[in-house]
Amino acid sequence: MQKKISTLLGFLVLFLFSFTETSYGCTNYLVTKGASADGSVMISYNADSHVLYGELYHWPAQTWPKGTMMDVYDWDTGKYLGKIEQAHQTYNVVGNMNEYQVAIGETTFGGRASLQHQPKAVIDYGSLIYIALQRSRSAREAIKVMTQLVAKYGYYSEGESFSIADKNEAWILEMIGKGKGEKGAVWVARRIPDGYVSGHANQARITTFPLANGKTSITSDQMDKIFNKEVNTVYAADVISFARKKGFYKGPDKDFSFSDTYAPVDFEGARFCEIRVWTMFNDVKKGMDKYWDYAKGHIEHGKRLADGDKNLNGYATNRMPLWVKPDKKITLKDMMHFMRNHLEGTELDMSKDVGAGPFHCPYRWRPLTWKVNGVEYFNERATATQQTGFTFVAQSRSWLPDAVGGIIWWGVDDASGTVYMPIYSSITTIPENFRVGNGSMMEWSDSSGFWIFNQVENFAYTAWDRIHPDIVKAQSKLENEFFAFTPAVDETAETLYKTNPKEAVAFLTEYSNAMASKTFKTWKNLYHHLFMKYMDGNIKFKRPVPKGYKYVNPKLEQPGYGEDWYKLIIEQTGDKFKVPGQEKK
């Protein structure tokens, strides 16, 4: 049994969530019940890494003999970290959501280098997510499992922000290790107030928080109270005292900020990270323009804090709030839209500057920062990015049985060009085109969904403003069909569940697999169509064969590069390409 667990985990770890301090990958948005249009709780996740192969993970529910141990490998590198005790009962997990509608996402914020990669620690952030999903029936239980695991076995990774949701609540948990000579981590978890939305994108965001009062705010020493519904803040008992011991903080406890102490925001933390949170907030809340300067990287360090106390630690004083109350209810489609943002509608719109090329492509090839004549420059880092391995919107719905209520709307590659497929979190068989082992980052598979989506999207990068609109049409057609099907699928599954839960799960498994297969086949055909239509810089349209003709050539258009780009060429080359014998206009 132990060998079986080891083999499964080892198989999944290759190249997963590769991250360096300057990668600034991953984006999460969180929407509470009271903020969503249908009363569901939603979290979203773009899992960004240039070496992450997008595939849909699955752990079936199992009962384990007492004393079973499981091997843990670092999800960044595949390095063996050690063994931990297996739970007696584990739950069905599909991607980043389990059969009880618990969903977890993450973004890495790094934080103080001296606290990263704790020697001899056994638990890293990736393992923490999937182990917690296998052992938790609620968001609160997941927080308890995660924090107790790192306390017992040590925390191996860099600083992390976790989105943790169930059918009733959404939480943010932020955690960083204690470094050499210590064990475990310091952390703070906060429940997003109902009716509000939040987000994080590689910058720690929990600042000050209510100190423990035994009722609404508790410490890890009072973890037995976490299931009390009035509790909305939980934190490591030594989160402040540890900072004092390390010389990271001075001043009264009430002014302590987790983020400003353990991961102070700087230009890059705002411009590359917080700006992605700002775009979502700006979409749902008027008045966010007052934080635009901050999101662009202009950090203020005022002499006094908001409560009037002296700013003894040099905290940033113009930060965005952790959560905002949206002006309108958020739909599932809105969430998908947030994940596809390229800074449109702002002065930093990535399709508008010269780096976008003649076809206004809103992407920039890495590195993120670069130098010319010894001077450092940078590219923008928007929510939608080419290096996404997989992306999802997890939707937890309290009015349905757990086996029916949890849907992880899941896709591979760049969120802008993906299709979010409805995958119910209770299913027992993963779609063939997206299962683990069907291809890898350096192994081609003609039946791999990851590879066909990358073929389509990478082709679009060559002539974005021509090809991408065709992708959006196909994307919208499929997603709108899925939205329309969902009520009927839910109703059928719920009816089946009342008399035979296994039949309900079998039905949802068949449906989820069918929609994934349909998406794969549609995208295969789309690639063939796009390649024929846009090959060699032309645009071709099929025409009917007239009577009396054996065949007819397609209608051909050759739009070239556009007037603005031709003008730019002339500005840089002068008369180099001028046809002789013309008067200069």
Q: Mind listing the pLDDT tens digit for each residue in 519-557?
A: 999 999 999 999 999 999 999 999 999 999 999 999 999
Report the pLDDT value the prediction gives residue 4, as an integer from 0 to 100: 34
491: Cβ contacts below 8 Å, ≥ 6 apart? none
For the full predicted model, state whether its pTM sits above 0.85.
yes
Instruction: Please say whether the beta carbons of 187 and 236 come within 8 A.
Output: yes
**Closest Cα to residue 350, out of 326, 383, 389?**
383
Contact between 520 and 439 (Cβ < 8 Å)? no
Residue 289: both structure tokens together: 């323009």
Tokens of residue 373, six digits? 């004549």
Side-chain-side CA neighbours of residue 325 (13 Å): 4
**Residue 539 Cα to chain centre, angstroms:** 35
Beta strands in 13-166 (DSSP E): 27-31, 41-48, 58-59, 62-63, 69-73, 80-85, 89-90, 93-94, 97-98, 103-110, 159-165
Instruction: Give the model confidence (pLDDT) of 98-146 as tens digits.
Output: 999 999 999 999 999 999 988 899 999 999 999 999 999 999 999 999 9
Task: Tell me if 359 sits within 8 A of 21, measured CB to CB.
Answer: no
Give the N- to C-terminal CA distance of the chain in Å, as an integer.
Answer: 81
Q: What is the pLDDT of residue 76?
A: 79
pLDDT score of 214: 92
Write out the H or E segment, with its range, that includes residue 451: helix 449-461
Let me know if 484 is exposed, middle or buried by CB neighbors in 10 A (0-12, 13-18, 19+).
exposed
Token code pair at residue 30: 């969180």
Q: If 0-12 CB within 10 Å is exposed, 13-18 middle and 19+ buried, where does residue 398 land?
A: middle
Q: What are the backbone angles phi and psi of residue 391, rounded to the nearest 5°?
A: -145, 150
How many CB atoms are closer than 10 A to CB 36? 22
CA 451 remoteness from chain centre: 20
Q: Is 170 helix (H, G, I), strand (E, B) or coil?
A: strand
Strand partners, 191: 171
What's the pLDDT score for residue 118? 86
Q: How far apart are CA 317 and CA 111, in angstroms?
A: 19
User: Any idea what DSSP says for residue 162?
Assistant: E
Size of the chain in residues: 585
* DSSP bridge partners of 170: 165
Sorted by sequence, the CB contacts under 8 Å of residue 340 that are 6+ apart come out as 383, 384, 415, 416
pLDDT at site 24: 56
| Confidence (pLDDT) at 145 | 98
Secondary structure E strands in 1-79? 27-31, 41-48, 58-59, 62-63, 69-73
Match 């035979």 to its residue by tokens. Answer: 500
Pairing of strands 62-63, 69-73: unpaired
Encoded amino acid at 528, one letter: H
Backbone angles phi, psi at 409, to 5 degrees: -75, 105
Which residues, other chains included, contact 159 with Cβ-Cβ below 8 Å and sequence gap of 6+? 108, 109, 110, 111, 112, 115, 116, 174, 175, 176, 177, 204, 262, 263
Spans of the chain, pLDDT less than 70 = 1-24, 584-585
CB atoms closer than 10 angstroms to residue 232? 19
